[in-house]
Structure 1
C-alpha cells in the first residue's frame, strides 16, 4: 500500500512539473511598455555609459585571437579556485550596480550583463559561462544591427527554479550623443512577469 501511494505521489508530482513546463507565458502578448521603460531607466545611467566606453578604449581593436584568449582564460577560471579575472569583473562598480538592479526588481530580473563594442563582458550581476558574447545572437542581433536593435530570444524553462526565463537583448547607446557603444542582456523571469500582469 505504501509503495502504491509513493508511486502515485511520484506520478502526480511529475505530471505537475510537466504541466508547469509546458505552459509557456506568451511574451509577445504581454504589455511590455513599462518593462522596457524600467530597463532603459536603469541602463541609461552614467555608470553604464562610462564603464562601457572605458573598456572600449582599454581594449581598442583587439584581434580575434586575443578575444578568444580572454574568453578561454575566463572559462578556465570558472573551473579553478583562483579567479582573478572573474573576481575583478564581479567587483567592478558596474557589476555592483547591475547586481543592485537585479535585486531591486524583486524577482523580475534573473540576470543582467553588459557588453562592450566587441561583445566582451563589462559588468554582470552573476558569473556568466563565457566572457565573450560576440559569437551569439545577444550581440550579433543587437550591436551589429544598430543602435535601436532589440532581440528577444526564445523562452527557456529553468528546471531548478521552476520558472520560464526569457532574454531581452538590446543595443546600448551613449544617451548624450546617441552613439552605439555596446549591448546588454536582461534575463527576465517570464513566469513572474505573467503573474504581475494577471493581477
Structure 2
C-alpha cells in the first residue's frame, strides 16, 4: 500500500515536516510505500473555476505549468493521503489551499477519484488556531468521500522555531498512533472491496 504526505509549509525542514515524518514512520515499518512531497514555498496557484477539468476528464488541471498535476498524480495512486500545514492566521497556507481546491474539483470532475482513500490532516502551530486548520483539511476529505482515521488527540504539534515540535512528546505519540491507525484502516479498507462511490446527480 502507498501513502503520500504533502507539506504545505514554506519551511521545508520545519515543524510540519517533523510531524508528517512521525506519521510516516510506523507506516514504513509496516511495509507501506511512503512518499513525501513538498509544495510549500513552490509555484502553485489557486483554482480559476474554468471547469475545463469537467470538460476534458483527463484527471488533470488544464493549467499545467506549476506543480499541481505532478503532485495530484501521486495522490491518485496512493491509498492514503496525509496533508500537513502550519497555522497561518488560523488557517492553512496559501499553497495548501490552492492544492486542495484544485484537487477537490479535479477529483470530482473525474468520477470522485478520492473516494474510499484514507485522509489525515496534521497541523503545526505556535499557540492557537490549529483546530480551524485541522478542520479545513478535513473538509476536503469529507466532501470527497474519503475515510478519516482517529488518534489520541487532534493531530497538532506545538512549537514556533523549526524543530521545536520535537519536544512535544504528546504530539509525537499522537502522530505515531495516527500512522498506526492508518495502517490498520488501510488493511480494513483493502479487504472491504471497492468503495460505493456516489457521483453528482445520483441519489
TM-score > 0.5 by shorter chain: no
Larger RCO, structures 1/2 (Cα 8 Å, 6+ apart): 2
Give the structure with the higher percent strand: 1
Length-normalised TM-score, structure 2: 0.31
Report the structure number with the largest CA radius of gyration: 1
Length-normalised TM-score, structure 1: 0.31
